[in-house]
Amino acid sequence: MTSNRSVPTLYDVAKTAGVSTATVSRCLNSPEQVVEHTRKRVLEVINQLGYTPNFGARAMAAKRTYTIGAVIPTMENAIFARGLQAFQEELRAGGYTLLVSSSAYDPQIEEEQIKALIARGADGLLLIGHDRTKTVSEFLRKQGTPALAAWSYEADAELPSIGFDNRRAMRSLTEEVLALGHTRIGVISGITDGNDRARRRVEGISDAVTAAGLDMAGVPVIETPYDIANGAEAFHNLMQADTPPTAVICGNDVLAAGALKAAGEMGIEVPRDVSVTGFDDIELAGILTPPLTTVHVPHREMGRRAARTLLAMVQKGITGQTVQLEAKVCLRGSLAGPKAD
């Protein structure tokens, strides 16, 4: 059954090395069980033949793949990039491979991707946030694949999570804005449907606004997909109002970058004419002009801890502990008091 033209199999290696397939398998998976002299010979043959284990077969036989999957809403902007990088580094240190796919913020696609990853044998899954359909949760439970939610802390959600309290963080930021005397606020939010982070952030704004004795009904909120161009457009619209806001709070840094861009184009000076804030503190935030006031998210720490937690879940079968990290307001040049008129 040796084929000379196709990819070599365990069997080929075994035959060439004059041992059984079991021994070859052991050389690869638990080398300490094989005596040095045999092992050496087998490894030589493996090299010589350029053998690589067939993953499908291995996954099927061993029921584990040393693969962790992550489904993130987007790769387009850097929101998840840094955290994911740290996540991957940590996984790699633990001997695991990370496979990423993106859902374009579409729950339908997210579901597909989750299934694709599980079908491909992912031992564990990293997901973003908590908003997903019953079907998906059901599916995950049924498959018994450990999953962890990140970028969002939620005490009693379906999945254990590691993240920060988006609502509280945004509330703090908004309080800073209000403390400076702003009373006319505008909000540019990401699409909240199916995105608990975006929703919580708006709630946080609402909390602070209401607590300050203002009426949230008077605060214009524009929802738009996370994208610089959309942020710009929304900002433009907000500033067309008869009494435009003196502070524009954006759901994340990307939208805020768009707002700053639009401001530049409209000849509106930030923060003199209007203040702008973001959320996430991606690298971009620090190099914008003016530098963006935002909420700093501990991306790398979150990624690292997510990896550790998920690995523990996968390897020891323990239930993941939900962990809350601190996200701190980060004041920079884009926020100032309202213009005295």
Task: By CB under 8 A, name the binding residues for its own copies.
Answer: 1-3, 5, 7, 50, 52-60, 65, 67, 74-78, 81-82, 84-85, 88-89, 92, 97-102, 104, 109, 112-113, 115-116, 118-121, 138-139, 141-144, 146, 228, 257-258, 260-261, 264, 283-284, 286-289, 313, 317
In angstroms, how far is the first alpha carbon of the chain from the final one? Answer: 88
Reference 250, options 294, 187, 293, 200; nearest CA is 187
**Cβ 115 to its own copies, closest distance in Å?**
6
Distance in Å, CB of 99 to its own copies, minimum: 5
Tell the smallest beta-carbon distance from residue 320 to its own copies (Å).
11
**Interaction of residue 48 with DNA, rule CB under 7 A:** no
- Which does residue 38 touch among DNA, its own copies, none (CB within 5 to 8 A, set by kind)? DNA
* Nearest CB to its own copies, comparing residues 52 and 321: 52
Q: Judged by CB under 7 A, does residue 102 bind DNA?
A: no
Query: Per rule CB under 7 A, is residue 9 in the interface with DNA?
Result: yes
Whole-number Å distance between alpha carbons of 130 and 156:
10
Is the CB of 27 or the CB of 198 nearer to DNA?
Answer: 27
Q: Figure out which of the listed residues 40, 61, 179, 286 binds DNA, where binding follows CB under 7 A.
A: 61
Question: Residue 264 binds which one of DNA, its own copies, none, with CB within 5 to 8 A depending on kind?
Answer: its own copies
The alpha-carbon radius of gyration of the chain (Å, integer) is: 25
Q: How many Cα atoms sit within 13 Å of 306 on the Cβ side?
A: 38
Among 16, 43, 45, 58, binds DNA (CB under 7 A): 58
Interface residue with DNA among 11, 211, 289, 318 (CB under 7 A) is 11
User: Are 94 and 307 spatial neighbours (Cβ–Cβ below 8 Å)?
Assistant: yes
Told to check if 38 binds DNA by CB under 7 A, we report yes
Measured CA distances, 159 to 79, 127, 317 (Å): 21, 9, 14
The CB-of-311 to its own copies minimum distance in angstroms stands at 14
Region of 5-13, 223-231, 236-244, 313-321 interacting with DNA (CB under 7 A): 5-13
Among 40, 44, 48, 60, which residue sits at the site for DNA (rule: CB under 7 A)? 60
Q: Which residues bind DNA (CB under 7 A)?
A: 1, 6-7, 9-11, 18-23, 25-26, 28-29, 33-35, 37-39, 51-54, 57-58, 60-62
